[in-house]
Each structure stands twice: as C-alpha cells, then as structure tokens.
Copies of this chain bind each other. A is one copy, B any other.
Amino acid sequence: MIKTAVFISGRGSNFTVLHENMKNGVIKGAEVCAVFSNNPAAAGLEYAEKEGLPVIVIPSGGRKDREAYDAEILEAIAPYKPDLICLAGYMRVVTSVLVSAFKNRIMNIHPALLPAFPGLNAQKQALEYGVRFSGCTVHFVDTGVDSGPVILQAVVPVLPSDTEEALSARILKEEHRLYSEAVGLFAAGSLKVNGRRVEISE
C-alpha cells in the first residue's frame, strides 16, 4: 500500500476523487496518508476532516522564503511517511527542496495539453488562442512551472460555443479519470522516468 500526501489550496476536487477512488478500489494499492494545505480556508480541508484524514496546514501568507517554507512542509509530512505527493490544485510553485526529496514522486495535474498553456487560467488561455482541442496532463513535478515529464494526457474538443466554465467542466471530468489512472500506475510500480520521457510498463 503506497502512502499518498495530497496538497491542496482550494476545494481540491481532484483530491476528493482520488480519495474516493482509493476507497472504492478504482485506484488499487494506494491510500491518502495526509492532506496538506497552504491555505487555512481551503474548502477541501472540511472533506478531509470528515473522512478522518490527517490534516496539516501551514499558512503561506507572507512566507517569501520558498525553500524554508518547503523544508517546513517536508518536516511536517515526514511522520506520515508518504511515498508519493499529489498536487491537487496546490497554488504554490514547489522548490528544489521538495523536488529533490521526492524525485519523480510528486505528481501534478494541469488542465491543458502541456507544453501548451502552462501556468494559470489554462482553459482561458486555450479559448483565447482559439485551439480546436485541449485537455489535461498528469506530470511529474520539477522546479519549473508545469514543465516536468508527462505521465498521461487526455484530449477534449473545444467547441465554438464554449465558455471558460463549459470547457473547464469538460476537462475536469477527464482530470478525475486521468489522475486516478496515473496514481494507480504509480502504485503498481509501472512508471519509469527515462530523461524527459515516462515509460509505462504493463
């Protein structure tokens, strides 16, 4: 059973889906060992507490030394012995402190087909660019912004009538499926990082 620490900043819709899918067996061999938030008001914390999951909150407001902040996180999560960290709408850039302690063991999901539209408001960026397809990407986290090795991607059409909300909802549905699949592959030991490429064994 691999232990997963989930990092959130808001409602953490991907967090709740991951946890539900671990409970119902859609994701095999993984469990949530702790939920971390940089935001004391993150809506996902309520769900975590209701589910009896350990919760850690370290407010990031005013914390300018990102390395020191990440070192504090490392210390706080250590007792829960995570094998994997899943970012789920975690709004802070992760520094080398976390990345080297969890090399190829931090995942993120991004609502675009990276390397297109990294950073904030990816769905809005896609609509403004005028692409015909977008999607989502699960990737390992490096110290860049949404730049790490790609684990899985899913494609959705962008429709002429799309608003940001409509496109976001279409992508979010795929995010929930894709993130669960990626965590399942990690738990099964099926992911091997080779340079920038992630090899998936059956």
- Contact status B135-A150, CB under 8 Å: no
- Contact status B200-A160, CB under 8 Å: yes
Shortest CB distance A190–B (Å): 12
Protomer copies: 2
Q: How far, in angstroms, from A196 to B149 measured CA to CA in the complex? A: 30
Q: Is A23 an interface residue (CB 8 A)?
A: no
Q: How far, in angstroms, from A113 to B129 measured CA to CA in the complex? A: 12
Interface membership of chain A positions 106-133, coded 1 if the CB is closer than 8 angstroms to chain B and 0 otherwise: 0000000111110000000000111111
- Contact status B113-A133, CB under 8 Å: yes
Q: How far, in angstroms, from A127 to B62 measured CA to CA in the complex? A: 41
Closest B residue by C-beta to A139: B130
Selected from B116, B132, B152, B199, the residue in CB contact (under 8 A) with A115 is: B116
Q: How far, in angstroms, from A135 to B132 measured CA to CA in the complex? A: 11
Task: Give the size of the chain A interface in residues (CB under 8 angstroms).
Answer: 23
Selected from B113, B155, B196, B199, the residue in CB contact (under 8 A) with A160 is: B199
- Contact status A130-B160, CB under 8 Å: no
In the bound complex, residues from chain B placing their C-beta under 8 Å from that of A130 are 149-150, 196-198
Binding site for B on A (CB under 8 A): 113-117, 128-133, 135, 149-150, 152-153, 155, 160, 196-200
Q: List 22 A-B contacts (CB under 8 A).
A: A113-B113, A113-B116, A113-B131, A113-B133, A114-B116, A114-B131, A115-B116, A115-B129, A115-B131, A128-B196, A129-B150, A130-B150, A130-B196, A130-B197, A130-B198, A131-B150, A131-B153, A132-B150, A132-B152, A155-B155, A160-B199, A160-B200
